[in-house]
């Protein structure tokens, strides 16, 4: 972002950066920066809160009055939530299936409602919703000792498949959950700590590491701090 | 580092930064970044109420009908002013993608810009906005030398005055 700010300013555009990492913004010194300590991935702070978002924009546009480079900090800090969101998972339906496969199939109705409501889905980088359960079946086999080179995913781009599985789950979860808007990382915590898919993917990640699969194949399947 | 944190219930407490975001910020602080010698500074030569504003985001947003972002994609996608059915194609698992799913304005505040234009705070909303993928090679040389200037030309062609840059 700061790189683009410098490029755009040189082209004759006035820029404002909403920065999420203060040290990076300080070192790169774009002309106008509003540093916001908000959850990463939520640069305007609060989803669904137009008043708060407008306040951020008002403070950002005010930086245009400065006649020299300026970095200001938004006075409010919003922390991510590290505790899992409250979202109940459908009960086991077919005990003959691996738990994650059964679970993914059980979430399908909620996922379909989410897509209907939003009109768009992030699932589809490499697999579609029909294939999510199959992909989890392969991850389950890896987690239980199968070779990642012998038992293949529906698509060879492991990271894309991982994104599609997580997107399927989070879109379904946001449709199922009631109550307050989940904070940053609350859905992430739910996925990794409470779902069979999350546990299976983490176990498969460990198995890939054990099998000495290339580092990027497994490392980026999960957030680095997990 | 202790700092004031505003809780959802309105209370204010002193708290230490912990968890995934703190880990990512600590990591980010150690990263080498490109340094720009003698950077440009373009003053806005008109009142904000007469300025045309565009959003450029590094959230790798795209319409479902547009080309997806490859890992290490240095290009950009143009988003029409009316587009709302957008997908986040960013490859990093290290930040929250769900805020955007709940309300795209938390990343791409297009509805807020429309409101500010309607109320006369800004002059106009640009006809097109642009998205890059935030995970770039360390030197960001393609963005600096090729796709960044190309995007600037698109913005200038749309008579944009102010660019709001939003990260994820």
- Per-residue pLDDT tens, chain A, 226 aa: give them: 789 999 999 999 999 999 999 999 999 999 999 999 999 999 999 999 999 999 999 999 999 999 999 999 999 999 888 889 999 888 899 999 999 999 999 999 999 999 999 999 999 999 999 999 999 999 999 999 999 999 999 888 999 999 999 999 999 999 999 888 999 999 999 999 999 999 999 999 999 999 999 998 899 899 888 8
- Cβ(A4)–Cβ(B143) below 8 Å: yes
Question: CB neighbours (10 Å) of residue A95?
Answer: 7
Q: B134 CA to chain A: closest CA distance, Å?
A: 8
Say which DSSP state A177 is in. Answer: -
Q: Do the Cβ atoms of B164 and A121 come within 8 Å?
A: no
Instruction: Give the whole-angstrom CA distance, residue A91 versus residue A102.
Output: 9
Q: Do the Cβ atoms of B96 and A222 come within 8 Å?
A: no
Instruction: Give the whole-angstrom CA distance, residue B133 versus residue B148.
Output: 12
- Cβ(A43)–Cβ(A20) below 8 Å: yes
Q: Which residue of B has its CA nearest to A43?
A: B107
Check residue B92 and give left, alpha or beta (phi > 0: left; psi -120 to 50: alpha): beta
Mean pLDDT, rounded, for B69-85: 94
B-chain residues near A44 (CB < 8 A): 105-107, 109, 112, 166
Which residue do the tokens 């030309």 mark? B153
Question: Please, what is the Cα angle at B107 between B101 and B109, to 5 degrees?
Answer: 110
The chain-wide mean pLDDT, for chain B, equals: 90
Q: Do the Cβ atoms of A188 and B96 come within 8 Å?
A: yes
Q: Do the Cβ atoms of B24 and A41 come within 8 Å?
A: no
A-chain residues near B116 (CB < 8 A): 54, 57
What's the confidence (pLDDT) of residue B15? 67
Instruction: Say if B58 falls within a structural domain.
Output: yes
Confirm whether the ipTM is greater than 0.95. no
Q: Do the Cβ atoms of A47 and B105 come within 8 Å?
A: yes
Residue predicted with more confidence, A8 or B140: A8
Instruction: Give the whole-angstrom CA distance, residue A96 versus residue B47.
Output: 67
Q: Can you state the angle between helices A196-210 and A99-106, rounded to 10 degrees?
A: 140
Instruction: Give the whole-angstrom CA distance, residue A136 versus residue A142.
Output: 10
Q: Do the Cβ atoms of A80 and B116 come within 8 Å?
A: no
Q: Do the Cβ atoms of B168 and A41 come within 8 Å?
A: yes
Confidence of residue B123 (pLDDT cuts 50, 70, 90): very high
Q: Which residue of B has its CA nearest to A44?
A: B106
Q: Do the Cβ atoms of B40 and A9 come within 8 Å?
A: yes
Beta bridge partners of B119: none
What's the confidence (pLDDT) of residue B14? 67
What's the confidence (pLDDT) of residue B31? 83
Q: Do the Cβ atoms of A18 and B161 come within 8 Å?
A: no
Confidence of residue B11 (pLDDT cuts 50, 70, 90): low
Instruction: Say if B53 falls within a structural domain.
Output: yes
B-chain residues near A39 (CB < 8 A): 21, 95-96, 99
Check residue A4 and give left, alpha or beta (phi > 0: left; psi -120 to 50: alpha): alpha
Q: Can you state the angle between helices A99-106 and A132-143, rounded to 10 degrees?
A: 160
Which is it for strands B124-125 and B76-80: parallel, antiparallel or unpaired? Answer: unpaired
Length of chain A counted residue by residue: 226
CA B72 to chain centre: 17
B-chain residues near A84 (CB < 8 A): none
Question: Please, what is the Cα angle at B151 between B146 and B153, to 5 degrees?
Answer: 100
Instruction: Give the whole-angstrom CA distance, residue A121 versus residue B97.
Output: 12
Q: Is A30 helix (H, G, I), strand (E, B) or coil?
A: coil
Which residue do the tokens 């938004």 mark? A74
Instruction: Give the whole-angstrom CA distance, residue B90 versus residue A1.
Output: 14
Q: A47 CA to chain B: closest CA distance, Å?
A: 5
Disruptive mutation site among B140, B165, B168 for chain A (greatest number of A CBs within 10 Å): B165
Residue predicted with more confidence, A37 or B94: A37
What's the confidence (pLDDT) of residue B10? 59
- Cβ(B116)–Cβ(A57) below 8 Å: yes
Instruction: Say if B36 falls within a structural domain.
Output: no
Name the residue among A39, A46, A182 with its Cβ closest to that of B21: A39
- With 80 as the cut, is the pLDDT of residue B153 above it? yes
- Cβ(B71)–Cβ(A159) below 8 Å: yes
Say which DSSP state A131 is in. Answer: G
Which of A112, A81, A78 has the alpha carbon at shortest distance from A179? A81
Which is it for strands B76-80 and B128-132: parallel, antiparallel or unpaired? Answer: antiparallel
Disruptive mutation site among A5, A42, A120 for chain B (greatest number of B CBs within 10 Å): A42
Instruction: Give the whole-angstrom CA distance, residue B19 versus residue A79.
Output: 9
Confidence of residue B93 (pLDDT cuts 50, 70, 90): confident
- With 90 as the cut, is the pLDDT of residue B7 above it? no
Domain enclosing residue B142, as ranges: 48-166
Q: CA end-to-end span of chain B, whole Å? A: 23
- Cβ(A215)–Cβ(A198) below 8 Å: no
Q: A95 CA to chain B: closest CA distance, Å?
A: 31
Q: Which residue of B has its CA nearest to A175?
A: B102
Q: Do the Cβ atoms of A225 and B160 come within 8 Å?
A: no
> What are the extents of the domains in chain A?
2-73, 99-219
Instruction: Give the whole-angstrom CA distance, residue A31 versus residue A3.
Output: 11
Which is it for strands A32-35 and A14-19: parallel, antiparallel or unpaired? Answer: parallel
């Amino acid at each position: 972002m700061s790189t683009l700010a410098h490029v755009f300013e040189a082209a004759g555009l006035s820029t404002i950066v909403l920065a999420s990492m203060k040290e990076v913004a300080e070192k790169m010194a774009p002309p106008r920066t509003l540093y916001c300590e908000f959850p990463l991935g939520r640069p305007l702070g609060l989803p669904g809160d137009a008043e708060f978002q407008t306040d951020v924009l008002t403070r950002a546009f005010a930086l245009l009055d400065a006649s020299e480079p300026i970095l200001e900090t938004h006075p409010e800090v919003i922390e991510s939530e590290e505790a899992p969101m409250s979202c109940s998972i459908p009960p086991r339906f077919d005990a003959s299936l691996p738990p994650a496969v059964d679970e993914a199939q059980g979430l399908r109705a909620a996922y379909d409602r989410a897509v209907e409501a939003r009109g768009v889905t992030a699932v589809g980088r490499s697999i579609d919703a029909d294939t999510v359960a199959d992909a989890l079946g392969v991850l389950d086999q890896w987690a239980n000792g199968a070779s990642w080179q012998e038992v293949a995913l529906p698509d060879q781009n492991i990271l894309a498949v991982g994104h599609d599985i997580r997107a399927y789950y989070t879109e379904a979860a946001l449709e199922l959950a009631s109550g307050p808007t989940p904070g940053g990382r609350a859905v992430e915590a739910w996925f990794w700590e409470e779902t069979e898919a999350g546990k299976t993917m983490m176990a498969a990640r460990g198995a890939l590491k054990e099998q000495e699969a290339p580092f990027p194949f497994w490392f980026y399947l999960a957030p680095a701090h997990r | 580092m202790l700092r004031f944190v505003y809780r959802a219930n309105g209370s204010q407490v002193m708290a230490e930064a912990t968890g995934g975001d703190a880990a990512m910020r600590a990591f980010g602080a150690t990263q080498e970044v490109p340094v720009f010698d003698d950077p440009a500074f373009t003053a806005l030569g008109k009142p904000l109420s007469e300025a045309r504003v565009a959003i450029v985001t590094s959230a790798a947003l795209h319409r479902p009908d547009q080309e997806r972002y490859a890992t290490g994609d240095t290009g950009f996608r143009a988003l029409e002013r009316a587009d709302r059915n957008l997908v986040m194609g960013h490859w990093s698992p290290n930040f929250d993608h769900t805020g955007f799913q709940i309300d795209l304005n938390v990343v791409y505040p297009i509805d807020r810009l429309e409101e500010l234009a309607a109320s006369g705070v800004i002059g106009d909303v640009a006809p097109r906005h642009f998205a890059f993928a935030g995970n770039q090679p360390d030197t960001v040389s393609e963005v600096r030398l090729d796709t960044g200037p190309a995007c600037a030309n698109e913005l200038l062609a749309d008579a944009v005055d102010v660019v709001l840059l939003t990260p994820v």
